[in-house]
C-alpha cells in the first residue's frame, strides 16, 4: 500500500506552488493538513538557501530507504493513513466540481505530481479517483465522522482556483454539509490565503 501521507504532501505542494500562496501560521492547527502544509513550507524555505545536493562519493552506497510507516507493510491503514486518504479524495472531488475532470486537467494534475516525485502507485491512486470522484455528500459525511470538517474544507481550497460558479457552489454546499458556519469559512480562507468567493 502506498503512503497516503506522503502523497498528501505532494498534493499540498502542488496547490501551494500553483498559487504561490503565503499560508497563514494558523494553518498549523488544521491537524494532518496543517502538518503537511508546514512540512512543505519548511522544505521550501530550506531549499531557498541551499544549493543542489552534492553527488555521492565514488564507492559509497546510498543510505537505506526509511522504514515503512505503520500499516504500510501489512497493507492496512492506520489513523493518519485513513485521514490522508480522506483529504486526497476530497481534493479530487472538488477538482471535479463541474461534473468531470477533462483530459487537459488530468494532464496538468498528473504532470505536477510527477514534478513532485510521485511514484506509480501514487499516480494510479489519483487516476482511479479522477475516474470516479467521490460525491460531495460522501466526502462531507466522512469528514464529520472523522471530526475533520475544517481539514476537509481546507484541502479543497488548496486543490482548486475557485474561479468558476461550479466550484463556488461546491464549496458553499460542502461548508453546509460539514456544518461550518460563516466565521469558520472566513477564517479558513484567510489562513490558506484564498479569497472568499463572491
Q: Is the pLDDT of residue 91 over 80?
A: yes
| Residue of higher predicted confidence among 191 and 142 | 142
Residue 73 has pLDDT above 60, yes or no: no
Instruction: Lowest mean pLDDT of 9-13, 45-49, 97-101, 144-148, name the range.
Output: 45-49
Supply φ then ψ for residue 49, to 5 degrees.
Answer: -110, 0
State how many domains the chain has: 1
pLDDT at 74 exceeding the cut of 70:
no
In a domain, 9, yes or no: yes
Is position 135 within any domain? yes
Q: Which domain holds residue 104?
A: 4-46+79-191
Note whether residue 69 is domain-resident: no
What pLDDT sits at residue 28? 59
Tell me the per-residue pLDDT of 178-195, one tens digit each, with 9 for 90 and over: 999 999 999 999 888 888
Q: Is the residue at 123 inside a domain? A: yes
pLDDT of residue 50 exceeding 50, the answer is no
Structural domain contains residue 71: no
Does residue 31 register a pLDDT over 80?
yes
- Inform me whether the pLDDT recorded for 167 exceeds 70: yes
Domain CATH code at residue 87: 1.10.3680
Domain contains 107 = yes
Higher pLDDT, 97 or 22: 97
Please report whether residue 60 resides in a domain. Answer: no
Residue 10 in any domain: the answer is yes
Band (pLDDT 50/70/90 cuts) for residue 24 is low
Supply the pLDDT for residue 41. 62
Average pLDDT, integer, range 127-149: 95
In this prediction, residue 44 has a pLDDT band, given cuts at 50, 70 and 90, of low
Look up the pTM and report it.
Answer: 0.78
pLDDT score, position 10? 87
Amino acid at each position: 500500500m502506498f503512503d497516503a501521507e506522503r502523497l498528501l504532501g505532494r498534493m499540498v505542494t502542488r496547490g501551494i506552488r500553483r498559487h504561490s500562496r503565503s499560508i497563514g501560521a494558523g494553518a498549523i492547527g488544521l491537524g494532518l493538513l496543517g502538518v503537511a502544509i508546514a512540512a512543505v513550507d519548511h522544505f521550501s524555505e530550506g531549499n531557498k538557501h541551499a544549493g543542489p545536493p552534492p553527488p555521492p562519493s565514488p564507492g559509497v552506497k546510498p543510505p537505506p530507504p526509511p522504514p515503512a510507516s505503520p500499516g504500510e507493510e501489512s497493507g492496512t491503514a492506520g489513523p493518519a493513513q485513513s485521514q490522508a486518504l480522506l483529504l486526497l479524495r476530497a481534493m479530487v472531488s472538488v477538482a471535479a466540481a463541474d461534473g468531470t475532470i477533462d483530459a487537459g486537467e488530468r494532464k496538468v494534475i498528473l504532470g505536477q505530481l510527477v514534478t513532485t516525485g510521485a511514484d506509480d502507485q501514487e499516480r494510479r491512486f489519483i487516476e482511479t479517483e479522477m475516474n470516479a470522484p467521490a460525491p460531495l455528500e460522501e466526502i462531507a459525511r466522512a469528514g464529520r465522522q472523522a471530526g475533520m470538517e475544517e481539514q476537509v474544507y481546507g484541502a479543497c481550497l488548496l486543490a482548486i482556483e475557485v474561479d468558476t460558479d461550479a466550484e463556488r457552489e461546491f464549496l458553499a454546499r460542502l461548508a453546509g454539509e460539514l456544518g461550518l458556519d460563516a466565521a469558520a469559512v472566513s477564517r479558513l480562507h484567510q489562513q490558506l490565503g484564498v479569497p472568499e468567493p463572491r
